[in-house]
Amino acid sequence: MKRTLFTCLAAGILFSLSSMAQEKIQRVEPLSWWTGMKTELQLLVNGPSIGEADVTIEGAPGVWVKAVHKADSPNYLFVDVEVEKTAKPGTYTLVFQRGAETIRYPYQIKAREEGSADRTSFTTADLIYLIVPDRFADGDPSIDSTEDTAEKANRSQPNGRHGGDIQGIIDHLDYIADLGATAIWSTPLLGDNARRGSYHGYACSDYYHIDPRYGTNDLYRKLVQKAHSKGVKIIMDVVTNHSSTDHWWMKDMPFKDWVHMNDPYVNSNHNMGLAMDPNASKADKAIMEEGWFVGSMPDMNLDNPYMLKYFQQWAVWWIEFSGLDGFRVDTWFYNEKVPMSQWAKAVTDEYPNFNIVGENWSANPDFVAYWQTGNPNNDGFDSHLPSIMDFPLQAAISQALQAPIGAAEGNGSRGRRGGSDISAVYNALSHDFIYHDLSHMLIFLSNHDIARIGDTFGHDPRRMKIAYTLLATLRGIPQLFYGDEMMLVTGNPRRDDGRLRMDFPGGWKGDPVNLFTEKGRAQAAKADTTYAHAKELHDYARTLFNWRKGKEVIHSGKTLHFIPENNTYGYFRYNDNDVVFVFINNSEKECTVPWTRFSEMTADLKDGLNIVTGEKVQVSDNTLVPAYSTLVIEYKR
């Protein structure tokens, strides 16, 4: 009894001391650390007048303070901590001495998981499924709105919060895996406390905590673990270029140059070419790098070494804490390019196999290729960014398959002006010579910033199937935007962010349509003609993407293609053991396959397997291909 009472009293004293410390010290970031890390630890400490304090560390040997750096604000300290190789995991105590006052703050150094540094990442063997979490599924309605966040849920508003969350993703991991996806990229889940439009997450207000309307840090880690148990990787979307005017540090920044403060306000000129243009003026470059993305998103100053270190550490922290498999980095080329290359190098030095893909939005292959690590740039610059997004190919596929205005295709909806010519895809791929590493290029049909492809393609399921075929068989790492597997549409072929980032039907209790289930997809057309082709398209996409998972010839094989004729296009993916023949008829008329024309690859090909129907076939010059359709035939050599 005495022993129990003593234990309770001791625990109460420790809790009291911890609470007192947290009143004096409001933040210590990173939140924790690990033994055996290459990344050096520098703590950001925030608290009233904490800059006046001296700092030491108590605990087991091997963890000690190397240096203390004051900031411009007296309410910050940056503390360099040495964690020696021999250091033991445990809870250490940060001791802040300020005159006669002593503040004690517990800090945990954990044991690193075995094999953490050697973790694998996403590759060409994966299909990435892109989710906007607020619009995917509401697994926990109790957190749709919270007291500590400004914007409350309002599902009736296209640009409002709708209530989707991490639990909703966990609840539908089986759907994602069944589709053939092996990785999930979710748009940002970190805190975004903007008063309006916070659902998109790209204005971060807290880099170390999941937004409470999505869940908690521990729930995010659970998502990663659950996904891994189903063979699905998790990619975190992060933003290094800008934060939010609602970020906690904007009320009192550590340094005057923590963000780029422009008076009067200066918006970025958004000109990607300035980063590599040898003739560009310094003034234009400065506006590109230092101008704000928009008025509510302060531009971070990565030239400040403390800011850069802070960003490097939270990236490493999230990987180690949650078990992440990759990063997608928003607005890569807006960052100061040299510090940003140092950010990427810090991450990949800690995790050599870790893949990072950067958003470099341009339809110009030169501008995109520049940003991939190892590219032989004339200025000698190396981004240390492993993967790039193939925006030129995405634009080409959109151009090739867009429905002309007035076209009576699909359900008769009107598309965008212009002809649809498959030559656009051929022309995009003919620029492959300019890219340093084709295996580290993310290919995609659309994403959260691009009009729904169902709208672009005139609500035509035939064009959708052509798009799936391209995504499943071309070189690179494929990414599919949620709902595109069933041609979700807005009715507007132009970009409309709040509406194109729509709720997934069935993700909310009471939804009249549930596209997450076989039964729901079969019944969908009866409830709403918008979903007339949902089951057909889903099944087609699922067949292709599940077939792709085990095909090394698609993951790493070479490409041979032939100049399109009459809006038809033939290409081959091949290696020493296998050949996959893809033929696309993007025309309004039935055609035959020009098999003899492809003889440099087809001469020795006999019996093949149609991977969509599962039937054995022999392709010849007499093989008929209906209008707006494809053939995908697999051969063994």
CATH number at residue 573: 2.60.40.1180
Q: Which of 61, 79, 113 is the last residue of a domain?
A: 113
Same domain? For 166 and 195 the reply is: yes
- pLDDT interval class at 405 (50, 70, 90): low
Contact 232, 184 (CB under 8 A): yes
Q: Return d(Cα 293, Cα 266) in angstroms, integer.
A: 9
The verdict on residue 313 lying in a domain is yes
Contact 464, 487 (CB under 8 A): yes
Q: Return d(Cα 450, Cα 447) in angstroms, integer.
A: 5
The pLDDT, as a whole number, for residue 114 is 94
Per residue in 485-502, pLDDT (tens digit) is 999 999 998 899 999 999
Compute the average pLDDT of residues 468-485: 98
Which has more confidence, 415 or 302? Answer: 302
Same domain? For 305 and 434 the reply is: yes
Compute the average pLDDT of residues 4-16: 44
Compute the average pLDDT of residues 9-13: 45
State the total domains in the chain.
3
The pLDDT, as a whole number, for residue 19 is 53
Same domain? For 545 and 584 the reply is: no
The verdict on residue 288 lying in a domain is no
Instruction: Provide the token pair at 547.
Output: 């077939």
Compute the average pLDDT of residues 385-414: 79
pTM: 0.94
Per residue in 246-264, pLDDT (tens digit) is 999 999 999 999 999 988 9
| Residues contacting residue 91 through CB under 8 Å, at least 6 positions apart | 59, 106, 107, 108, 109
The verdict on residue 35 lying in a domain is yes
Q: Which of 513, 531, 552 is the last residue of a domain?
A: 552
Q: Provide the 3-class DSSP secondary structure of residue 617.
A: strand
> Has residue 10 got a pLDDT over 80?
no
Same domain? For 193 and 312 the reply is: yes
Q: Cβ of 150: how many Cβ atoms within 10 Å?
A: 13
Same domain? For 588 and 507 the reply is: no
The pLDDT, as a whole number, for residue 526 is 86
The verdict on residue 268 lying in a domain is no
Instruction: Provide the token pair at 549.
Output: 């998972």
Q: Could you report how far apart the first and last alpha carbons of the chain are, in Å?
A: 78
Nearest to 208 by CA among 20, 26, 18: 26
The verdict on residue 61 lying in a domain is yes
Q: Which of 552, 576, 599 is the last residue of a domain?
A: 552
Q: Return d(Cα 368, Cα 391) in angstroms, integer.
A: 8
Q: Which residues are catalytic?
A: 330, 359
Compute the average pLDDT of residues 266-294: 95
Instruction: Provide the token pair at 315.
Output: 């990236």
> Has residue 463 got a pLDDT over 60?
yes
Same domain? For 543 and 561 the reply is: no
Give the residues across from 190 on adjacent strands: 210
> Has residue 409 got a pLDDT over 90?
no
Q: What is the CATH number of the domain that holds 106?
A: 2.60.40.10
Contact 634, 573 (CB under 8 A): no
> Has residue 235 got a pLDDT over 80?
yes
> Has residue 354 got a pLDDT over 60?
yes
Compute the average pLDDT of residues 51-70: 97
Task: Name the pairing type of β-strands 568-574 and 578-585.
Answer: antiparallel
Nearest to 368 by CA among 311, 428, 421, 310: 428
Q: Return d(Cα 297, Cα 602) in angstroms, integer.
A: 55
Instruction: Provide the token pair at 69.
Output: 């750096």
Q: Return d(Cα 343, Cα 471) in angstroms, integer.
A: 31
- pLDDT interval class at 21 (50, 70, 90): low
- Structural domain range at position 611: 556-636
The verdict on residue 589 lying in a domain is yes
Compute the average pLDDT of residues 374-397: 98
Contact 136, 511 (CB under 8 A): no
Same domain? For 562 and 545 the reply is: no
Nearest to 438 by CA among 390, 470, 480, 399: 390
> Has residue 413 got a pLDDT over 80?
no
- pLDDT interval class at 425 (50, 70, 90): very high
Same domain? For 477 and 571 the reply is: no
On average, the pLDDT of the chain sits at 94
The verdict on residue 260 lying in a domain is no
- Contacts of the segment 228-232: beta carbons below 8 A, 24+ positions apart: 228/323, 230/173, 230/174, 230/177, 231/177, 231/182, 232/173, 232/176, 232/177, 232/181, 232/182, 232/183, 232/184
Per residue in 594-606, pLDDT (tens digit) is 999 999 999 999 9
> Has residue 8 got a pLDDT over 70?
no
Q: DSSP labels for 260-309?
A: ---SS--B----GGGGT-TT--HHHHHHHHHSBSBTTBPBB-TTSHHHHH
Compute the average pLDDT of residues 442-468: 97
Q: What is the CATH number of the domain that holds 236?
A: 3.20.20.80
Same domain? For 303 and 336 the reply is: yes
The pLDDT, as a whole number, for residue 408 is 41
Length of the chain counted residue by residue: 637
Distances (CA, A) of 273 to 279, 301, 627: 10, 20, 40
> Has residue 417 got a pLDDT over 80?
no
Same domain? For 320 and 337 the reply is: yes
Nearest to 572 by CA among 587, 586, 557: 557
Same domain? For 56 and 96 the reply is: yes
The dihedral built from the CA positions of residue 409, 412, 413 and 415, taken in this order, carries a sign that is: positive
> Has residue 3 got a pLDDT over 70?
no
- pLDDT interval class at 531 (50, 70, 90): very high
Same domain? For 443 and 546 the reply is: yes
- pLDDT interval class at 416 (50, 70, 90): very low
| Residues contacting residue 405 through CB under 8 Å, at least 6 positions apart | 414, 415, 416, 417
Task: Work out the percent of the chain whose per-residue pLDDT is above 70.
Answer: 94
> Has residue 223 got a pLDDT over 50?
yes
| Residues contacting residue 526 through CB under 8 Å, at least 6 positions apart | none
Instruction: Provide the token pair at 75.
Output: 């309410």
The verdict on residue 257 lying in a domain is no
Per residue in 129-175, pLDDT (tens digit) is 999 999 999 999 999 999 999 999 999 999 999 999 999 999 999 99
The pLDDT, as a whole number, for residue 420 is 87
